[in-house]
Structure 1
Amino acid sequence: GMEAGVLSELFLILNKVLLISVNRWLGVTSPGVVEKLGCSNLSLSPRQRELCSRKSILLPGVREAARLGVAECQRQFRHERWNCSTNQEVPVFGHELTSGTKETAFIYAVMAAGLVHAVTRSCSQGNMTECGCDARLRGGGSAAEGWHWGGCSDHIQYGTWFSRKFMDHTVKNMSMSHSSYTLNTMNQHNSEAGRQAINRTMSTDCRCHGVSGSCAVKTCWRTMAPFERVGTYLKDRYEHSMQVTERSKRKMKWKDQRRLHVDKHQLIFLNKSPNYCLEDRRRGIAGTRGRRCNRTSTGPDGCNLLCCGRGYNTHVVRHVQRCECKFVWCCYVHCRRCESMNDMHTCK
């Protein structure tokens, strides 16, 4: 549908940014070059292209958002059977983009959050004319307790607006009835949950002023969490995501159904996930064969779980490194070469 199309296009940017010409793209600094590689070269919907050309200064922000989202997805799932692998084909996440599973939910949430985070960061650093710090707090606070709002608070309102606009969402009524979910509304809901995650993980930072560092007066401001913390928050939302389909509804008692209200901070999904154990080319599932596992772990990266009970191979890997380094007068460092043999386990 339309939504998957729009996100595929965001991932087309990703493909260009991350998978094909990382150096050319990420090495770009001067605005002129960004313009040359600008909006017309990206596969965008007409609305995104218009937004992009009006706000081409945000293009590095969109690229950074793409990088943030993918890197964080892969960091959060590095030990799982589905490890958020990106395809060389388009779109980047392949089947997971449209499967309506909780993996789809996480992808949409983390990409929308990445967009808020990168654009807001760009605002706070003063790279933008139409946004800057959030000045609404300034001057407020509690004088009696000796602190006030000041400094540069992250202006997530602009980043949130841009993320909604760029991902082509018109989020009207987030508390829609439980039976009316389609892939489209699911994706909208989860993108919005991703944006809310930035808000939910913000913190207050303060700096002390006063004689010899005493905290007689404090200046405080609101700041976004590092994106890793947002990723961890969303991974927890993924673990507690909720299925919303007719079948899941039929299983519930009637009185529970009436109470059922989907919180806008919750991730939702339509379809149960496959187990990701065996390769399925048609659905773009890589399987876990050949994946490295941890023999002593009882978590998802443990050989039993990751290899889905198929067992594992053990190879001995030789590891050579410099060791016992000494500074020799004058002037060089003398080291020994130390070798160690380590077991490495990979799934059968």
Structure 2
Amino acid sequence: MDAEVMENRKRGLRYMCALSLLLVSVCPLSCTGSWMWLGVTSTGALEKLDCTNLPLSHRQRELCRKKPFLLPSIQDGARLAIRECQNQFRHERWNCSTTNEVSVFGHELTSGTKETAFIYAVMAAGLVHTVTRSCSQGNMTECGCDPRLQGSSVPAEGWHWGGCSDHIQYGTWFSRKFIDNAVKNMSTSRGGYTLLAMNQHNTEAGRQAIDRTMATDCRCHGVSGSCAVKTCWRTMAPFERVGLYLKDRYEHSVQVSDRSKRKTRRKEQRRPQVDKHQLIFFNKSPNYCLEDQRRGVAGTRGRRCNRTSAGPDGCNLLCCGRGYNTHVVRHVQRCECKFVWCCYVRCRRCESMNDMHTCK
């Protein structure tokens, strides 16, 4: 009997080891880290896990268990935000690179720089955007179109509210509930900010970006296409426009004092309270020119640059004055395609030689 018990225990241990290996393969570091990890993992891997095993805080797991139907929107929001971050910074020295770690952005997530500010803002905005879009598309019973504007009109301008206005209030509420921590006294006008308060300020600025980029769309009604009456509704902007807005906020971000540091300059103490739409940061950004494994900086060596550009993608700026290498690249593509009766397309094979420049 004792031998049978021991064998059952061994089988149980083997099963637990196999399960642990599965979790590590789809969710590294035992699923500790940031919800942003959902944006870089595959849907197939996500389906093997439930809310308990995801890289979420205790409060986020509870919310996930109560509203599991929102998990696809959470993942889509993380993906949308990471993709837009990389799109906005594709020509910059820091190109919003991600890592294989659960933190996704590595050191940038806690460095307190302008890049940290942008990451938190765009991630919060991405979550609002996908949850709100899911509401408008009728994918959830908890929310739908924004009911507040239905039935009201603007007689002087000859139009009335109708259609399906995007219900960003629900998306904004969920983003706050899922991301933010309930912390009082987040900031003071004289005492500075904590890192947590800085991140929460920037996530709220990201959510406000959705509201500030919304547009009013209208449809005409009338005989023979006339526009005697118009029905209008509020709609979210494409997320690329939200990304452009946040990139402008990034470029005009405001440095604030870190309350966790003992010594604070009097000049910094007298700085007024910043606007809620501005991005804030503590520390100046590194130049991102050279690789720094300790900080997770990849450097710009080997990055492709534009020799004729005077912008951030130009070889002079992107390569930090180190110079660049020129390679001749052979490009083959189909060209001069013609339809042949009947029924196929005949194309020529065209070759071109192009210069490609990469940073030294």
For residue 155 of structure 1, what is the aligned residue in structure 2?
167
Please point out which of 201, 209, 220 is paired with 2:213: 201
State whether structure 2 residue 36 is matched by structure 1 residue 11.
yes
Q: Give matches, 1:257-336, under 5 Å.
A: 257=270, 260-336=272-348
Note the residue ranges of structure 1 that are not aligned, 5 or more in a row: 1-5, 27-33
Please point out which of 24, 28, 33 is paired with 2:44: 24
Deviations 1:247-294 (A, max 9, x none): 99748499xx36x22000000000000000000001100000000000
Amino acid of the structure 2 residue aligned with 1:236:
D
**How far apart, CA to CA, are the structure 2 residues paired with 1:312 and 1:287?**
14
SS at match of 1:321: strand
- Asked if structure 1 preserves the Cα contact closer than 8 Å seen for 2:124 and 2:207, the reply is yes
For residue 239 of structure 2, what is the aligned residue in structure 1?
227
Deviations 1:198-255 (A, max 9, x none): 000001001001111111111110011010000000000000001002699748499x
For residue 126 of structure 2, what is the aligned residue in structure 1?
114
- Asked if structure 1 preserves the Cα contact closer than 8 Å seen for 2:39 and 2:76, the reply is no
Q: Judging changes above 3 Å, is the alpha-carbon distance between structure 1 residues 173 and 138 closer, same or farther for their aligned structure 2 residues? A: farther
Quote how far apart the aligned CAs of 1:40 are.
2.3
For residue 105 of structure 1, what is the aligned residue in structure 2?
117
Amino acid of the structure 1 residue aligned with 2:168:
I
**How far apart, CA to CA, are the structure 2 residues paired with 1:233 and 1:341?**
38
Quote how far apart the aligned CAs of 1:85 are.
0.4
- Asked if structure 2 preserves the Cα contact closer than 8 Å seen for 1:85 and 1:93, the reply is yes
SS at match of 1:13: helix
State whether structure 2 residue 62 is matched by structure 1 residue 50.
yes
The percent of aligned pairs where both chains have the same amino acid is 77
SS at match of 1:313: strand
State whether structure 2 residue 193 is matched by structure 1 residue 181.
yes
Deviations 1:285-342 (A, max 9, x none): 0000000000000000000000000000000000001111111222211111110000
- TM-score, normalised to structure 1's length? 0.89
Quote how far apart the aligned CAs of 1:25 are.
5.5
Quote how far apart the aligned CAs of 1:37 are.
3.5
- Asked if structure 1 preserves the Cα contact closer than 8 Å seen for 2:339 and 2:346, the reply is yes
- Asked if structure 2 preserves the Cα contact closer than 8 Å seen for 1:66 and 1:115, the reply is yes
Deviations 1:129-176 (A, max 9, x none): 111111101111213432100111111111001001101333756773
- Asked if structure 2 preserves the Cα contact closer than 8 Å seen for 1:38 and 1:59, the reply is no
- Select the structure of larger CA radius of gyration: 2
- Asked if structure 1 preserves the Cα contact closer than 8 Å seen for 2:39 and 2:77, the reply is no
SS at match of 1:61: helix
Deviations 1:98-120 (A, max 9, x none): 00000000000000000100111
Please point out which of 70, 73, 85 is paired with 1:73: 85
- Asked if structure 1 preserves the Cα contact closer than 8 Å seen for 2:213 and 2:242, the reply is yes
Aligned residue-pair number: 327
